[in-house]
Structure formats: C-alpha cells, structure tokens
Amino acid sequence: MSVSKCTRLSGALVKELLDSVDSVLFDCDGVIWRGDQAVPGAPQVINLLKEHGKKVFFVTNNSSKTRKMYADKMSKLGFNVNEEEVFGTAYCLAMYLRTVCKLQGKVYLIGGNAMRQELEAVGIQQTGVGPDHISGSQADWANVSLDPEVKAVVVGFDEHFSYMKLNRALQYLTQQGCLFVGTNRDTRLPLEGGKAVPGTGCLLQAVETAAQHQAQTVGKPNHFMYDCVASQYGVERDRCLMVGDRLDTDILLGSNCGLKTLLTLTGVSTVADAEAHQKSGCPERQGMVPDYYVESIADLLPALQG
C-alpha cells in the first residue's frame, strides 16, 4: 500500500487496509468510548472485525481498572470482548515485573486497588495502597519505617498521592538494587468539555525528581505493551494495525513497533497536530505522524458491512 503518510482513509482504501492486517490494536478512551458512552458505531466495528476473523485487542495506559473491569464496561456498551483481549498498564506492569525483572520480593505501590489486584494475580505482594498521612519532623520522615521485603517502587495513578508517599518512595529508592517502574508518562487526562486533570506522568516525574533517577515505563509508547500482546497471541508486526486518538502515545507506539497506524479524531489529537509533526523536519516527531486518519472508527463500517 504505497500512499503518503497522514492520508484520509476512505472508499476502497478502507477495505485495502483491512485486508492487509490480521490484528488490530485499539486504544479505548477517545477511540471506542468517551466517558461512559460508546463512540457511535464503535461496538459494531469491533464486533464485525471479529466476525471477519480479525484478532482485536485493547491497549490502554489507564491503570485504574483491571482487565476484568474493562471487559465488563465494554460488554455493557455492546462490545463483544473478553478480558484476555484487554491489555491495561496495571496488567502489563505486573507482567513486566514477573517476566522481565523476575522480581523476588514485594513492591512499594503508588497506585490503586486495580494495580494491587493485577500484581497479586501474578503472585506479587505490595504495600502502599491508600492514604499515607504525614506526622513528625523532617528527621522522622527521613527515617520512616520501610518494609525490608520491598525490592521495587511502582508508580501508577494514585488519587491518594501525597508528600509522605513521595518521601517513602525516595527512601526505598536510595536502597541499592531497588527497581523503579512506572505505568506511563501521560501528564494530563482529558475530560469532556475540554477539561483535564493531572495524569500519572505528573506523579512519576515527582518521584523521579526526588530520587534523581529515571523510571522504566511499560505503557504506550513503550514497545513492551505491544510485546505483551504479541508474545501471547503471535501477532505479526507487518500484519497489525494500531488505532488511537493520541499521536504521542498510540501512534508513536505503532511507529516504534513497525505497525500500520490509524488516527481517529474522536479524542485528543487533530490532523493539524499530525501535519505539524510531518512538516517539522524533526526525525523524532515523524514517529507521531499516522499512516491514515478517520473522523471516527465508524468510518470503517461500510467496508465491514459490504
């Protein structure tokens, strides 16, 4: 398929693209749903892709839900999905610690219950979930009690993030050999109406600044998320399509892994954003230029129904 980058996907090109892939990876928020509402036509697209024999997977940087929680939400919205097809950062981080790091010991977890559940599901115990209130003086903080079994500090989304959690993470990370892993670097979580709240990336940067040490991350655009899917399901790079709404995570993941990429305009990024990257002349920014774009993934419906 020899077309220029950032091409509008329409007409015969849709079928040509779908015929060239066996697997499709979808981001979730801004792609197949917005908030608690499915993007119109999205359930039909997912279900028809499966009927056409395509493998479909869901890759999300949101660490606040388990795979089962995502699958339950999708089922309620009309998607034909099972939890094994969902790859969130809570699950991928647990797999990273178990399979790549081969962690022996507990983790100090800056994160929520979903991360705790995914870690425990692979046999990793944690400490840290919930509020950690401050007390005492600075000397007390520097000598805060630590669990001797903790061998890694893990950072995901944590609504209870606090100075004491930041301090405790620093004290663990001053210990020799303590691993440091984050779910993702998204700094803002976009909401309806143009609003946004701070994302996990803000928390991770705070810990990195305190520790003077950079974390390894497992979420998009890091290739580990794709590796997780590919190793379990035999996905072939040159027969796989990544569909997302963010150039700096979804499309860059696809580029980093040698996948075909499709930007949908129902979420964060715009065609103007993509064209600015394309015209920049900067090699790093070229990875954020999608092969194709659509107004919505519902634009794939005619080719699937035909």
Return the CATH number at 289.
Answer: 3.40.50.1000
| Predicted pLDDT of residue 1 | 52
Q: Is residue 72 part of a domain?
A: no
What is the total count of domains within the chain?
2
* One domain, residues 152 and 197: yes
Q: Which residue type, as a one-letter code, is found at position 173?
A: L
* One domain, residues 194 and 297: no
* One domain, residues 137 and 188: yes
* Tokens, residue 29: 């928020």
Q: Among 29, 132, 248, 291, which one carries the catalytic annotation? A: 29
* One domain, residues 53 and 158: no
245 is in an annotated binding site: yes
SS3 185: coil
Q: Is residue 78 part of a domain?
A: no
* One domain, residues 97 and 153: yes
Compute the C-alpha angle 86/87/92, nearest 5°. 150
Q: Is residue 68 part of a domain?
A: no
| Predicted pLDDT of residue 3 | 66
Query: Considering 217, 234, 256, which residue would you say is the last residue of a domain?
Result: 217
Q: Is residue 295 part of a domain?
A: yes
* One domain, residues 112 and 207: yes
Compute the C-alpha angle 19/22/27, nearest 5°. 105
* One domain, residues 191 and 130: yes
- 22 classed as catalytic: no
- 27 classed as catalytic: yes
* One domain, residues 284 and 174: no
**DSSP 8-state code for residue 39:** P
Q: Which residues pair with 260 in a beta bridge?
A: 241
* Tokens, residue 216: 């390894």
158 is in an annotated binding site: no
Q: Which residues pair with 55 in a beta bridge?
A: 23
* One domain, residues 183 and 230: no
43 cis-preceded (ω within 30 degrees of 0): no
Q: Is residue 86 part of a domain?
A: no
Q: Are 110 and 161 in contact (CB under 8 A)?
A: yes
Q: Are 45 and 298 in contact (CB under 8 A)?
A: yes
29 is in an annotated binding site: yes
> CA-to-CA distance for 3 and 233, rounded, in angstroms?
29
> CA-to-CA distance for 290 and 262, rounded, in angstroms?
6
* One domain, residues 210 and 238: no
Q: What is the CA radius of gyration of the chain?
A: 20
Instruction: Give the list of residues 6+ apart from residue 177 with CB closer than 8 angstroms, or none.
Output: 151
Q: Is residue 207 part of a domain?
A: yes
Q: 36 lies in which domain range? A: 7-61+221-305
Q: Is residue 79 part of a domain?
A: no
Euclidean distance between the first and final Cα of the chain, in Å? 21
Q: For every one of its 306 residues, what pLDDT tens digit does the chain have, with 9 covering 90 and above?
A: 556 899 999 999 999 999 999 999 999 999 999 988 999 999 999 999 999 999 999 999 999 999 999 999 999 999 999 999 999 999 999 999 999 999 999 999 999 999 999 999 999 999 999 999 999 999 999 999 999 999 999 999 999 999 999 999 999 999 999 999 999 999 988 877 878 899 999 999 999 999 999 999 999 999 999 999 999 999 999 999 999 999 999 999 999 999 999 999 999 999 999 999 999 999 889 999 999 999 999 999 999 997
* One domain, residues 204 and 117: yes
Query: Considering 162, 191, 217, which residue would you say is the last residue of a domain?
Result: 217
Instruction: Give the list of residues 6+ apart from residue 50 with CB closer than 8 angstroms, or none.
Output: 56, 80
Query: Considering 191, 217, 243, which residue would you say is the last residue of a domain?
Result: 217
> CA-to-CA distance for 97 and 183, rounded, in angstroms?
11
Q: Which residues pair with 196 in a beta bridge?
A: 190
22 is in an annotated binding site: no
Tokens 């701070």 belong to residue: 198
> CA-to-CA distance for 151 and 163, rounded, in angstroms?
21
* One domain, residues 20 and 136: no
> CA-to-CA distance for 116 and 110, rounded, in angstroms?
10
Q: Among 27, 227, 248, 299, which one carries the catalytic annotation? A: 27
Q: Is residue 146 part of a domain?
A: yes
With CA atoms as reference, report the closest residue to 156 among 203, 122, 192, 117.
Answer: 203
